[in-house]
Structures are given as structure tokens and as C-alpha cells.
Amino acid sequence: MALRLGDVAPNFKAQTTAGEIDFYDYLGNGWGILFSHPADFTPVCTTELGKTALLKEEFANRNVKVLAVSVDPLDRHYGWVNDINETQNVEVNFPLIADNDRTVASLYDMIHPNASETSTVRSLFVISPDKKVKLMITYPASTGRNFYEILRVIDSLQLTANYSVSTPADWKHGEDVIVVTAVSTEDAIKKFPKGVKVVKPYLRYTPQPNL
């Protein structure tokens, strides 16, 4: 059955460019991103992996480990990583799974047969430290993902996990956030010393609490 938000992210062992990995061991107690690519030596995928490598510090600052998947074999991955490093001016610094037998693709429902019978679409999962699926996005092969949006969602997820706030439409780091409805206004005033602006009983803003 397909995964849904809140489900436990399935564990697996896989061959990667960094040796055999147990997914849960790789993630440890931090956050994770597992994302798939249709194929090695393709242009959009090359830019996506380059951008991910470029954002290494951003992921590290958020305690996020990144793991890429494609169904191509390991020897092709090694050659492709050289190309990515050369053309995108980066050092790919995260493992790529060689999912030749489609184990990971099947577990995470990454093959959408009406898009392609054989290759994975651009699936991306954000996984929290308790190994729950917190974000799932699916892009077509022809559209490269916006990795700043992925960082933005991770910031939002981490604020929710740590401070009982959610984030409004188009929220950006530094802007006011929303007090979750489970917290009463009375408690919110105690919990958020920077202030609570009550627009409606269910719509209460407070400055971003971790700044």
C-alpha cells in the first residue's frame, strides 16, 4: 500500500556510492530526505543533485541527512557523480542508492507506471527523527524540484515539532508564525513571550520563536 503522511518510513538496506547503508542507521536521530531521480546521466537530475550538494551546509544546519535513489547500477552512479562534480562545480557529498532491483522504489511507491514503466519519478520524502513521513512531494521527470522550498518546509516542520506553531501561506524564515489551535490563547500568551496577536480565536500570530 502507498505511504501516507504520518506513516512510519520503511527501513531498508541498500548498496550506495558510500557502501551498504541501513536507512535507519544512516539517519540516526536526525531528520532525513529520501529522494528519487528517473535516471543517471540526464540533465535535470544532474542539476538537482548538484544543487543538493551545494546546499550541504543548509541541510547540516537543520540536522538533515540526504539520500538519493535511482534504479541505475553503482558503476553508472560513480561515473555520473564525476560528471555532476565537474558540471555543477560541487563535490557530491551524500550517497546515491543503486536500486537496480527496485527495492526502495517499491517500498516508497516511486514508480508511477503511467509516467514510466521502468524509472522512478521525482519523489521526495522528509522523515522526522521518530522515522515518520512528514512530507511527500512528487514531481514529473521534466521538472527540477525547488530545493529552497524543501528547506522552507523543513524549517516549518521543525518549528511545529519544537514550538507548537504552524506557518502561514508563503511563510518565509523570520516572518510571524501561527499558534497551533491545540494551544489556548491563555497558554499561548505564557508560552510566547514575544507576544500573541489574536486576529480570530482560531488565528493567532506570534513572532518566529527560535530567533
What minimum distance in Å lies between the beta carbon of 139 and ligand BEZ?
11
Q: Which residues bind ligand BEZ (CB under 6 A)?
A: 38-39, 42-45, 141-142
Q: In this complex, which beta carbon is closest to ligand BEZ, that of residue 21 or of residue 68? A: 68
| Encoded amino acid at 62, one letter | R
Q: In this complex, which beta carbon is closest to ligand BEZ, that of residue 80 or of residue 192? A: 80
Strand runs (DSSP E) across 132-188, as ranges? 133-139, 165-166, 177-179
Q: In this complex, which beta carbon is closest to ligand BEZ, that of residue 140 or of residue 193? A: 140
**Cβ(120)–Cβ(38) under 8 Å?**
yes
Report the C-alpha gap between 33 and 45 in whole angstroms. Answer: 16
What minimum distance in Å lies between the beta carbon of 188 and ligand BEZ?
46
| Encoded amino acid at 86, one letter | E
- Enumerate the β-bridge partners of residue 42: none
Q: Which residues are catalytic?
A: 45
Give the up-direction half-sphere exposure of residue 98: CA atoms within 13 A in the CB hemisphere.
16
Report the C-alpha gap between 110 and 104 in whole angstroms. Answer: 8
Task: Spell out the residues 6+ positions from residue 100 whose beta carbon is closer than 8 angstroms to its own.
Answer: 71, 72, 73
Q: Which three cell numbers stand for residue 56?
A: 550541504
What minimum distance in Å lies between the beta carbon of 141 and ligand BEZ?
3
Q: Which three cell numbers stand for residue 67?
A: 539520500
What minimum distance in Å lies between the beta carbon of 115 and ligand BEZ?
9
Element (H, E) at 150: helix 147-163
What minimum distance in Å lies between the beta carbon of 208 and ligand BEZ?
35
